């Protein structure tokens, strides 16, 4: 299979990713906001939350990832210690 020339790989010509930047909380406050966000993701692949509370979701998500990692490690090594699910 030949290599196809891909000059941008999803980026604009100046090198920045083409991701729509918006305040997701403001969008979701609109009655049709969920549809707007869903369409943006479907068409563009991602939406960057630039609102004042944007980092809180990332912190919560990272805490869930860490808790899941601990749970998976306990499942893989049952002799390592007690398995408590919180």
Q: How many beta carbons lie within 10 A of that of residue 62, not counting itself?
A: 10
Question: What does the pLDDT read at residue 52?
Answer: 80
Residue 49 and residue 58: Cα distance in Å, rounded? 10
Q: Which two tokens stand for residue 29?
A: 């406050």
User: Is the per-residue pLDDT at 59 higher than 70?
Assistant: yes
Higher pLDDT, residue 40 or 2? 40
Average pLDDT, rounded, for the chain: 75
- Residue range 12-33: average pLDDT? 75
Residue with tokens 């960057």: 48
Q: How many beta carbons lie within 10 A of that of residue 70, not counting itself?
A: 13
pLDDT tens per residue, range 5-18? 655 555 566 666 66
């Amino acid at each position: 299979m030949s290599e196809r020339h891909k000059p941008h790989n999803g980026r604009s010509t100046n090198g920045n990713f083409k991701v729509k930047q918006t305040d997701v909380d403001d969008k979701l406050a609109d009655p049709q906001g969920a549809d707007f966000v869903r369409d943006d993701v479907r068409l563009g692949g991602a939406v960057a939350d630039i609102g004042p509370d944007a980092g809180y979701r990332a912190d919560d998500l990272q805490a869930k990832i860490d808790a899941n990692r601990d749970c998976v490690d306990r499942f893989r090594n049952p002799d390592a210690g007690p398995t408590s699910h919180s």
